[in-house]
Structure 1
Amino acid sequence: MPLPALNHWEQTAPHLHRAARLLGPVRASVTDHQPNFLELPMFILPEGLTTGRLPQGGEVICNFKTGQIIYQPASGEAISFAWTGHSQKSLFEALLMTLKSHELAGVLADVPDDQLISGIIEKCTKDGKQIFATFEELSDPTPFAYDAQVASDYAAVQYAIFTAVARFRGWLTGPMTPIVVWPEHFDLSTLWFGTDKAAEHDPHMNFGFAPFSGSHPRPYLYVYAYPYPTEYETPTLPDGARWETQDYTGVHIAYDDIAKQADSEAYVEAACHAIFRSLRALLP
């Protein structure tokens, strides 16, 4: 079935990103560094995103449908923080204050209550770890102001794309990364590696879905290969896809073209198969 139009997406998107971005440092602060920086990303739910289960058994969820950050401890009732009435800064401070006495007690015990954001950033950047976010990017004072229906619709869009990519991914063999959403750019992504080596600089393809980037204010499906040969012909692409060379080098399918398909998930799944066949020949 067709997907939501995401009208006026540009006004709501940055607010969703600010809320979702808070999950990254929470997870990274209690997760050892992993290959391909997999201590950083969030996992996809029908209603939004989650840190997944943390070491103490709790979980932090960013619910696009209800406009909330939700902390579900290992036992007991969930603690919810509505975005409305908060800025990113005040929301993060409220979440961290709660986690300081629960999930992150061991991480934030020595951090003063008025320095929780800078404190967790410091904890996340020890021992060579990175979170690819500055203090300013995690403490925006702008009040949340978003279209609740568009936010809820994006949860459905994100889960539909996830489902389609997961079905395609089920046909692949060889090393792969899980399908995740990255806090820095808010994009869904999974890597498939062309050899038995699976580090970020090894030959691979990235299948992803970006809510916006650079010169693209609207969402789009993207695929790229790494590394490209020094010389090559533009690959044959499925209907609706084009070859992008401005913001990145690879395949671009506009969300607005995906959304109008009679079966959007089937379209994305088939497009991924066709693109994989075309780009596979470019890898070493």
Structure 2
Amino acid sequence: MEQEKFMMQQQKITGKIDPRTLIESRLQLHYAVQVIDAIASTLAEPKPDYSHTSFGWNSELKVFVGELIPAAKSFRVALEPVSLTSLILDEQNQKIAEFSLHQKTLAEQINWYKKEIATLGADADKVVLPSYPRADFPDDKIAHGADFDANKGKSGRQELANYYAITNLLLQEIVAKEEGASSIHIWPHHFDIAILVTVGNISNGEPITVGIGMSPGDTNYNEPYWYVSPYPSPEITNLTELASGGFWHTQDWVGAVLKASNVSGEGEEKIKQIQAFLDSALQGSKSLLKV
């Protein structure tokens, strides 16, 4: 864990950017990573929980990176978020090819990928981007043929990358402590980074779980926020206190929430507040679930 602690100290949510102003940066990233899902959905080894369609954060390369795709020369697809550069990596995460998304469309991005992965022996004809806007997916001009613009929102994308990097490390710590914790996944549809912790026996045919993660912003809150969501949804008559300015969200779903705008201070101080919130919310969720 010493390496994780060292890396934590190197990550900073600057606080110089109002998290409520990151919407445009978030939307560009959200659309840019969809090709990872499109390729994995058709070419990766399928998994029952669909986690093959998810991707992760590579803390060394500072990129979003997908599952290994088997081919004559196996590969992964990735995105460097700050420069908005699509990447193809080999099994050792060495770069095979790259493509700047600046002044390029979604169609140009997917066509470049298909051309490149065909040379690696993949069945590129299977790969198709879904139509946009999809259900419960943010609409944006990129969905309608507009170019990506790497010159706009660069500092915002760096800030968002730091949110993912820090949350990835915090979730690693929880995974190391919680026996029932899943691997860490970033899910393409909602763009949230999360784990699922199984905390109890099956209830009504389903396991008792707590979802823990971070959303970069959505229709619930227009800024990054951390969430801890117990399942099945507990009664809301006896909700527990939460650390660091966290609160319980109770409309449509029940979960503890900490908005980025409620995290004060700088650097490590911010990280400690987020960690305290996650710890209190996980323990509170277990209490509500009576496990």
TM-score, length basis structure 2: 0.80
Secondary structure at 2:285 match in 1: helix
Secondary structure at 1:164 match in 2: helix
If asked which structure has higher relative contact order (CA below 8 Å, sep 6+), I would say: 1
Equivalent residues in 2 for 1:44-193 (5 A)?
44-46=57-59, 47-56=62-71, 57-74=74-91, 78-102=96-120, 104=122, 107-108=123-124, 111=125, 119-121=126-128, 134-137=130-133, 140=143, 141-145=145-149, 146-174=152-180, 176-193=181-198
Aligned CA distance change for structure 1 residues 252 and 230 (closer, same or farther; 3 Å) = closer
Aligned CA distance change for structure 1 residues 150 and 95 (closer, same or farther; 3 Å) = same
In 1: Cα distance, 2:84 partner to 2:236 partner = 48
Q: Report the counterpart of residue 234 of structure 1 in structure 2.
A: 239
Q: Which consecutive residues of structure 2, in runs of 5 or more, have no partner in the other structure?
A: 1-8, 135-141
Q: Which consecutive residues of structure 1, in runs of 5 or more, have no partner in the other structure?
A: 112-118, 122-132
Q: Which has the higher strand share?
A: 2
Render the CA deviation track for 1:252-278: whole Å, top value 9, x for unaligned. 101122363552222222222211111
Render the CA deviation track for 1:85-124: whole Å, top value 9, x for unaligned. 21122212211221122252xx33xx3xxxxxxx424xxx
In 2: Cα distance, 1:231 partner to 1:160 partner = 30
Aligned CA distance change for structure 1 residues 278 and 62 (closer, same or farther; 3 Å) = same
Residues 30 and 55 in structure 1, CA contact (< 8 A), matched pair in contact too: yes
Q: Report the counterpart of residue 3 of structure 1 in structure 2.
A: 13
Shift of 1:52: 3.7
Shift of 1:4: 2.3
Give the root-mean-square deviation of aligned CA atoms. 2.7
Output the amino acid matched with 1:275: A
Shift of 1:152: 2.0
Secondary structure at 2:263 match in 1: helix
Aligned CA distance change for structure 1 residues 270 and 172 (closer, same or farther; 3 Å) = same
Shift of 1:226: 0.5
Which shows bigger deviation, 261-270 or 54-63? 261-270
TM-score, length basis structure 1: 0.81
Shift of 1:137: 4.7
In 2: Cα distance, 1:215 partner to 1:155 partner = 21
Output the amino acid matched with 2:148: F
Render the CA deviation track for 1:173-214: whole Å, top value 9, x for unaligned. 12x2211111001111100002366xx942100001001111
Secondary structure at 1:35 match in 2: coil
